Structure 1
Amino acid sequence: MPSPNLFEQRTAGILLHPTSLPGSESYWGDEQQNASGTFGKEAFNFVDFMAAAGLRVWQVLPLVPTEDNLSPYQSSSVHAGNPDLISLDDLAARGWIDKNNLQLDEKSRQGLAELRRRCAPSFFHYLNSDAGTETRQQFESFRQQEAFWLDDFALFVALGRRFNGSSWVDWPEALRKRESGALEQQKNELQDDINSVYFEQFSFYAQWLTLKNYANQKGVAIFGDIPIFVGHNSADVWAAQHYFSLEENGQALTVAGVPPDSFSESGQRWGNPHYRWDVMEQDGFQWWLARFGTQKKLFDIIRIDHFRGFHSVYEIPGKNEDAREGKWIKTPGDALLQASFDRYPDLKLVAENLGEITQEIEDLRLKFNLPGMLVLHFAFESDDNQLQPHHHTEHNIVYTGTHDNDTTVGWFKQMSDEDRERFEHYDFQSDAEMPWFLIDMALSSVAKLAIIPLQDFLALDSDSRMNMPGTPDKNWRWRFSWSQVDPGLAGAIKQRLEKYQRLSQPV
């Protein structure tokens, strides 16, 4: 089981999102390459691989529902799970659904969504059978415990389907403004679609928590990730509009982004509506406390993406097409973090402190003793860079790269001559070739936790990159296959962990 403090000993882990797991679901047949990884048998095989290698932390990306671009950082809910990760084969094996229904009419993401909808009636039939008594009790308990977000989310999804995927700001005014009579009418008319969402979310949580428990029993902690902002077209914004910076018609009054810099003359306009921090602070940050409560169920450790937003955020007028006319505003992150740790004393948070981070932001992180991130791909972009290993400190996490970086093989090939010269003059001794040279550098760091993307352990090139920020296509789709995993890889990793004293007791 995970220890009370992960950073009491030297450990190591892998970064791999579950969508990148190999495919093995029967209903995809020979077209597994079109599918997402799931919480099925391959996920358990991956945990076994980690345990055999002595790796104690599995870091994943947000497990939330995704839009067509598949980005887990723009979602329709901060509480719901991505139904694409559900293993229908596992549900059939549990007896929850009829295995004879597992036929994809169209082998696509849309076809899979339709298959889940077709499976929902057999699930409710099972719940009402003698065999389903225990599961029915679990389902009813889930409905009650998660009602604070689940009911709104289920109706939001059903309404989105009714209105052909349009944003909630374009729905009829009575629904946009959540008039009770209009909502009740839609609930009655859309009960089948709503039940389908209940089925998906119960199945997601049941499978993930089973997998998490298996990992914990094997000594592997689960390291999750939550984006600081939420999507405009989400159940969260629609259901709690008073917490967000919106106009009367629901359009965003101000949105998040970053100002112009050397990478973009017009800055970046992300489009997420800003929080009304004053309103959130008035009720003791109940919205955030509920969000952290959900994440604590799902993960042992939680990374806050864009942690600097707990100090200040860049605010752009919602009607502006780019970020040039934005401004920085202060946020009550200190009070929010204090309230969070008062409610959840055992909350384990990690701060994503990459990019241009001021001393004030670092002071906030250190005040709450939050580990930060040390990414070696960025360590040789300047002389005596603070990310170089001789500057590392224990209470941090060292990475070769992250999901937004190229693979280490690709990074090294494309390194500028100037950066390569700095890198080659850095006095680190290893007989290994890339990417193992950089893996050794990470594992040797004094940082208590080292995380290596699976692509680096597999020595994969740029075509296996997970995400290229700022590009619209081909992201979030990478998957590995067991044929890429050398039979001796787990042993080789374990030897390195022993060499660098990271072969710890289960955390």
Structure 2
Amino acid sequence: MGLHILGEILNYRRGLNPGSGLYFRISCGPLKKPKTNMDLKRSSGILLHVTSLPSPFGIGDMGPEAYEFIDFLEASAIKYWQVLPLNPTDDAYSHSPYSSYSAFAGNTLLISPEFLEKEGFINLQDFNIPEVSQQDKVNFKQVSLFKEEILEAAYHNFKRNKINLQKFKTFVKTHRDWLEDYSLFKVLHDTYNTPWFTWPVPYRDRTAEGLKQGRKEFKSAIERVKFNQFLFFSQWLPLRSYAQQNQIQIIGDIPIYVNHDSADCWTNSRYFKLNKSKFPSKISGVPPDYFSETGQLWGTPVYNWKELKANRFDWWIQRIKQNLLLFDVVRLDHFRGFSAYWEVPAGDKTAQNGKWVKAPGHDFFKTLQKEIPHMPFIAEDLGSLDQGVYDLIADFNFPGMNVLLFAFGDDKAKNPYLPFNHIPHSIVYTGTHDNNTVLGWYEGADSRTKRHLKEYTGKNITSKNVNTQLHRMALASVSKLAIIPMQDILGLGSEAVMNIPGSTKGNWTWRLTYDQLSIQKVVELKVLNELFGRG
């Protein structure tokens, strides 16, 4: 039962042979030109990060289960799969996909061992596969050790047997603009085991002699990093192509800021507000509000937008293009930062003493539009906004977000998240990766919120039906696109939360189990999508 059986049924229906190689090809060939634009069609999607897919290896990956999930979406008349950022994660940040040491590289934890074996890079019988039960959440420490072991073996077999050597060379040449600096950064970071701004000055300041010496001294280790990135892109691009073949569009996510200790900040330090010692002079955050008297201090360096503008926003445009290589549509996280951002003096312990600084959002998006005319972006416009943000969104016709968990309990008429206040050119969510599940939210809601929800729906809402009612409410909205987290489709509680903002333990670990998807669920979702004109 479960996802494997579902995949076999769908293959049979299409006349496909699971062993034919369709699922197991690895290629760096060209993708079809995306048809995506932001003239949204009425449709629906599911929010589920890749790490949350079931797999035999303790973490979701780009293997057979990812292809079978696309089959599940297609059979359910669902047109979008939304994922979180696919950049490398680190134990220092609890493996948050929003705190990476590269805005361009791929997360090697997502590489499928099964596909590595299919390509002849490894033999899985040579390894002790982590023992995990269907109910286990991701154990990042265990998974990281296992993936490092198999990737090391894959590299040695690549060197010995020249597997896909020409494809590797082509990949390195195609991605050299970011790959050369990223691979050297990764090797130096592993060598010194400290942030880049504490390295010896020739490496810290990227002197010509320092870069030359590093690339010579660490040549083999640098090639290994490049090879791992080759494997990531060689597995993701066919997966995206398979989604396109099944009329499924993948929505990705771009965090607005990057970590100080990142290849991006090291390589492009002039684009961040740093002092002569390469430490931030200003850092990011959000101001005090109803939820926090001291605001939120994020701590990442803020952009030197003046310098970026002088160089026609080249780094940002390259970053956007890299993401559109991976995704059909991109959600721009903390969109208000493109209009104005909260800047805090470095060294402050809270965000209280910050100030709003205007960003050249209009100039940036006008420049970007010349490079990417179809502009397939979603504006994450949640939180406290001002007229400048609204104007920026309107000027470029970006769809914004409506979250139903924010709709109930307060103003019963003007709350913008109430369905009757939605506009067609928008995306409606029951919740996001940063919210509780619908069931968890309901069980923790106050009496006023529950009463409002009951009055609005005209139904007796309980813990058993609240997820279904909000799912239907989202599908019934005039918003062209309705996206539902998988946890809400399954009616799971707080134990299935993906992330609790402000906490550092237990986040990003939730996983789908093999037995949670079924043909019955396919039928239910397809009926709902067709009923609300989203099929």
TM-score category, normalised to shorter length: over 0.9
1:382 aligns with 410
- Paired residues of 1:24 and 1:42 also in contact (CA < 8 A): no
2:356 aligns with 328
1:406 aligns with 436
Cα distance, 1:136 vs structure 2: 2.4
Q: Is the alpha carbon distance of 1:341 and 1:429 closer, same or farther for their aligned partners in structure 2, counting shifts above 3 Å?
A: farther
1:47 aligns with 70
2:504 aligns with 472
2:153 aligns with 118
1:434 aligns with 466
Unaligned runs of 5+ in 2: 1-31, 131-140
Are 1:360 and 2:388 counterparts? Answer: yes
Are 1:424 and 2:454 counterparts? Answer: yes
1:103-139, Cα deviation, whole Å (9 max, x unpaired): 4699442342243223212123333xxxx4xx32222
1:136 aligns with 165
* Greater mean deviation of Cα atoms: 411-420 or 491-500: 411-420
- Paired residues of 1:314 and 1:329 also in contact (CA < 8 A): yes
1:78-122, Cα deviation, whole Å (9 max, x unpaired): 100000000122012012345555446994423422432232121
1:30 aligns with none
2:184 aligns with 155
1:491 aligns with 523
Cα distance, 1:360 vs structure 2: 2.0
1:474-503, Cα deviation, whole Å (9 max, x unpaired): 000000112122430011000000110100
Q: Is the alpha carbon distance of 1:42 and 1:191 closer, same or farther for their aligned partners in structure 2, counting shifts above 3 Å?
A: same
SS at match of 1:224: strand
Q: Is the alpha carbon distance of 1:6 and 1:315 closer, same or farther for their aligned partners in structure 2, counting shifts above 3 Å?
A: closer
AA matched with 1:426: Y
State how many pairs are aligned.
487
Unaligned runs of 5+ in 1: 26-34
* Residue pairs, 1:170-249, within 5 angstroms: 170-249=198-277
1:399-445, Cα deviation, whole Å (9 max, x unpaired): 00000011111111111112112222214679992211000000000
Cα distance, 1:5 vs structure 2: 3.4
* Greater mean deviation of Cα atoms: 428-437 or 375-384: 428-437
Q: Distance in 1 between matches of 2:125 and 2:212?
A: 35
1:31 aligns with none
SS at match of 2:473: helix
2:79 aligns with 56
Cα distance, 1:220 vs structure 2: 0.5
Q: Distance in 2 between matches of 1:195 and 1:101?
A: 24
Would you identify which runs of 4 or more consecutive aligned residues in structure 1 move more than 6 Å? 429-432
Are 1:70 and 2:98 counterparts? Answer: no
SS at match of 2:250: strand
Q: Distance in 2 between matches of 1:280 and 1:4?
A: 27
Are 1:88 and 2:117 counterparts? Answer: no
- Paired residues of 1:83 and 1:201 also in contact (CA < 8 A): yes
Q: Distance in 1 between matches of 2:381 and 2:458?
A: 25
1:279 aligns with 307
Q: Distance in 1 between matches of 2:324 and 2:401?
A: 21
Q: Distance in 2 between matches of 1:114 and 1:7?
A: 45
Q: Distance in 1 between matches of 2:511 and 2:36?
A: 33
Cα distance, 1:183 vs structure 2: 2.1
1:18 paired residue among 30, 50, 56: 50
1:29 aligns with none
1:195-226, Cα deviation, whole Å (9 max, x unpaired): 22111111111101110001110110000000
Q: Distance in 2 between matches of 1:188 and 1:247?
A: 29
- Paired residues of 1:308 and 1:353 also in contact (CA < 8 A): yes
AA matched with 2:230: F
1:56-81, Cα deviation, whole Å (9 max, x unpaired): 10000000001111101111011000
SS at match of 2:59: coil
Identical residues among aligned pairs (%): 40
Q: Distance in 2 between matches of 1:363 and 1:103?
A: 56
2:14 aligns with none
Q: TM-score, normalised by structure 2?
A: 0.88
* Greater mean deviation of Cα atoms: 118-127 or 329-338: 118-127
1:432-482, Cα deviation, whole Å (9 max, x unpaired): 922110000000001110000000111111100100001111000000112
Q: Distance in 1 between matches of 2:237 and 2:295?
A: 40
AA matched with 1:446: V
* Greater mean deviation of Cα atoms: 106-115 or 5-14: 106-115
1:454 paired residue among 464, 481, 486: 486
Q: Distance in 1 between matches of 2:129 and 2:203?
A: 34
AA matched with 1:442: A
- Paired residues of 1:7 and 1:448 also in contact (CA < 8 A): no
1:130-189, Cα deviation, whole Å (9 max, x unpaired): xx4xx322221211121111111111111111112x111111111101112222222222
Q: Distance in 1 between matches of 2:385 and 2:159?
A: 51
Q: Distance in 2 between matches of 1:87 and 1:428?
A: 47
Q: Distance in 1 between matches of 2:410 and 2:451?
A: 11
Cα distance, 1:230 vs structure 2: 0.6
AA matched with 1:162: T
* Greater mean deviation of Cα atoms: 96-105 or 264-273: 96-105
Cα distance, 1:263 vs structure 2: 2.0
Q: Distance in 2 between matches of 1:102 and 1:276?
A: 47
Q: Distance in 2 between matches of 1:151 and 1:110?
A: 25
* Greater mean deviation of Cα atoms: 386-395 or 137-146: 137-146
Q: Distance in 2 between matches of 1:340 and 1:430?
A: 49
* Greater mean deviation of Cα atoms: 422-431 or 289-298: 422-431
Are 1:109 and 2:119 counterparts? Answer: no
* Residue pairs, 1:260-339, within 5 angstroms: 260-339=288-367
- Paired residues of 1:304 and 1:351 also in contact (CA < 8 A): yes
Q: Distance in 2 between matches of 1:4 and 1:485?
A: 28
